[in-house]
Amino acid sequence: MYLQAFLFAGLVCLICQIILDNTKLTPGHITSGVTVLGALLSFLGIYDKIVAWAGAGATALISNFGHMLYSAGLAGYEESGILGLFSNLLCSSGIAIVSVVIFSFVFTLIFKAKD
């Protein structure tokens, strides 16, 4: 399982690095694209199969954020209609958003950015 997680996450990172090095896309473009790709794969029913195969290698990537947003939105829509789509979206992904903000703040206190 560790090898599968490493291979999947490494392959995604390799592809993103190749795109970053050979195009004029910024890291923000690539991050957004991978997030949208995760949501698209979730829509097609593929991302759950990837998570089952790669485990933490698929859930630790930014593509999982797109998968999580899509899954939460769909569950909210099925439960409460169009308003549930928006209300459930942030309830399910809120912990990930808050974690990113807190960890980013802590790391800025520890490390100094290069100019």
Q: 49-63 pLDDT, tens per residue?
A: 999 999 988 988 888
Q: What is the pTM of this model?
A: 0.78
Ranges of each domain in the chain: 2-110
pLDDT at 91 over 90: no
CB count in 10 Å sphere of residue 88:
20
Please report the sign of the dihedral spanned by the C-alpha atoms of residue 79, residue 82, residue 87, residue 89. Answer: positive
Distance CA 100, CA 4 (A): 25
Mean pLDDT across 78-97: 81
pLDDT at residue number 115:
61
Spatial distance between the Cα atoms of 76 and 103, rounded to a whole number of angstroms: 28
Tens-place pLDDT, residues 17-28: 999 999 999 999
| Residue 62 and residue 39 in contact, taking contact as beta carbons nearer than 8 Å | no
Rounded average pLDDT over 72-80: 89
